[in-house]
Amino acid sequence: MRFEPGQRVRVAARPHEGHCRTPVYLRGKAGTVASVHGSFANPETRAYGADGLPERPLYGVLFAQRDVWPGYTGPGEDTLVVDVYEHWLEEA
Amino acid sequence: MHDRGGVPTGEPIDRTEHELEDWEVLTDALAGALGRAGVMNVDELRRGIESMPPGEYERASYYERWLFSLEANLTEKGVIAPGELDARL
Amino acid sequence: MSHDHDQPHDHGHDHEPIGHDGEPPAAARVRALEGLLVEKGVITREAVRQGVDWLVSRSPGDGAKLVAHAWVDPAFKERLLTDARAAAGELGLDAGPSPTVVAVENTDEVHNMVVCTLCSCYPRALLGPPPAWYKSLPYRSRAVSEPRAVLAEFGVELDPGVELRVLDSTADVRYLVVPQRPEGTDDLSEDELAALVTRDSMIGVAQPRAVEPQPA
């Protein structure tokens, strides 16, 4: 596992063709690793009938809502946790 | 268009409870049985749903989307022939 | 599962011509598909029936039992927060065939709320099928970007200073919210506590039921 809890990471801002579980609203956003969930079969290839191996590490990444939505009107403490695969994360 | 997070909408959330119809439970169970039989996995199911043309995606009900995906995947895999299901209706 | 319709299901959009009993064309279509697949030997009717039986057996009562037990047993709560599947197993509850289930706890500092913006991922084994609104396009879009407005629609206003944490279930993890134990419940049995734990409180769009005030 490349990242550890507390580490700042950024979601890659790259286009993707085909099935993907990294939401568009998160691309390019920076957060902090909150959980290390372990490794799972890659849905991006499983979605086309492949076995999804090798498994890919999955992280629960915590974002400040204000960092995700320019117009966020809620309090500064509000957060968003999204499960993101390692191959979509970079060091921030 | 399946990627909905933050998509602007003025629509309030309709909180009416909908008990699942028999055919909806059947659709769900059919997808599960196909998964356990190794014919089609959940990621393929999702990808099939995502392949719906945008207007159709939004107009279809939840399990209508599942059914679309089941048919698309099964046809793509050659498990059913194009038109074979229509012929049975 | 089926019930009489006086009028067609309202999904908020126009249906194609409705078949008998108010069912959409998809109903006949999926029955025909099952028949076709069984005939071809791709699946068995028994396998489908097992799936149906499992689905209809699922209810929020299982999740409520987990929460109630966590409320009365702090060591169990810690185990639940560490490994929800194992904790469910301790109570003889089925956490589901595949993905990971993670229980997240509401506290005085943090209120959790769960969504799946990409489809409808939900801890079905422990909560039963998700409500229609959870799968709806407006919930999926607004729960992440304007969660406090969504909570207000559900009649929830959080105390000042509480962090609202929205969890978007994008991958193989399913989230179950452990709501806070309501005030004045010290004398309740575990079953009575479980009755306070609603499905919506385990999604994070509601608080658990309050205790009825006792007559003077």
pTM, full prediction: 0.93
Q: B20: distance to nearest CA of chain A, Å?
A: 27
Q: Helix, strand, coil proportions of chain C in percent (round to 5)?
A: 45, 10, 45
The pLDDT value recorded for residue C214 is 66
CA A40 to chain centre: 14
Residues with Cβ within 8 Å of C44's Cβ and at least 6 positions away in sequence, in order, are: B33, C38
The pLDDT value recorded for residue C20 is 60
**Cα distance between residue C156 and residue B43, in whole Å:** 34
Q: By mean pLDDT, which of B16-25, C12-21, C52-61, C191-200 is the weakest? A: C12-21
Amino acid at the residue C194? A
Which ranges of chain B would DSSP assign to H, the alpha helix? 22-36, 42-50, 54-59, 62-76, 84-88
The pLDDT value recorded for residue C2 is 44
Q: Is a pLDDT exceeding 70 seen at residue C37?
A: yes
Q: Is a pLDDT exceeding 60 seen at residue A38?
A: yes
As assigned by CATH, the class of the B24-82 domain is mainly alpha
The pLDDT value recorded for residue C9 is 44
**Cα distance between residue C137 and residue C140, in whole Å:** 5
**Cα distance between residue C117 and residue A70, in whole Å:** 19
Average pLDDT of chain B to the nearest whole number: 96
Q: Which of C155, C16, C164, C61 is nearest to C104 (CA)?
A: C164
The pLDDT value recorded for residue C160 is 85
Q: Which residue has the higher pLDDT, A57 or C98?
A: A57
Q: With respect to CATH, is domain C59-203 assigned 3.40.50.10860?
A: no
What ipTM, to 2 d.p.? 0.98
**Percent with pLDDT over 70 in chain C:** 89
Instruction: For chain B, give every domain's residue range.
Output: 24-82
Q: Is a pLDDT exceeding 80 seen at residue C10?
A: no
Q: Which residue has the higher pLDDT, C15 or A76?
A: A76
Q: Which residues of B touch A (CB under 8 A)?
A: 3, 5-6, 41, 43-44, 46-47, 50, 77
Q: Is a pLDDT exceeding 90 seen at residue C46?
A: yes
Q: Please tell me if residue C170 touches chain A, with a CB cutoff of 8 Å.
A: yes
Return the number of CB contacts < 8 Å for B and C. Answer: 165
* Cis geometry, peptide bond prior to residue A54 (ω within 30 degrees of 0): yes
| pLDDT confidence bin for C216, thresholds 50/70/90 | low
Across the interface, of A22, A78, A83, the residue whose CB is closest to C169 is: A83
| pLDDT confidence bin for C11, thresholds 50/70/90 | very low
The pLDDT value recorded for residue C121 is 96
> Are A68 and A25 in contact, with CB atoms under 8 Å apart?
yes
> Are A75 and C165 in contact, with CB atoms under 8 Å apart?
no
Q: Which residue has the higher pLDDT, C16 or B36?
A: B36
In the stretch 1-60 of chain A, residues with CB closer than 8 A to chain B read 18-19, 23-26, 43, 46-49, 52
Contact B43 A69 (CB under 8 A): no
In 3-state terms, what secondary structure has residue B80?
Answer: coil
**Cα distance between residue C154 and residue A61, in whole Å:** 27
Q: What pLDDT digit, counting tens, does each position of C55-97 carry?
A: 999 999 999 999 999 999 999 999 999 999 999 999 999 999 7
A8-91 topology per CATH: SH3 type barrels. (2.30.30)
| pLDDT confidence bin for C8, thresholds 50/70/90 | very low
**Cα distance between residue C102 and residue C200, in whole Å:** 17
Q: Which of C89, C14, C60, C84 is nearest to C196 (CA)?
A: C60
Query: Does the active-site annotation cover C119?
Result: yes
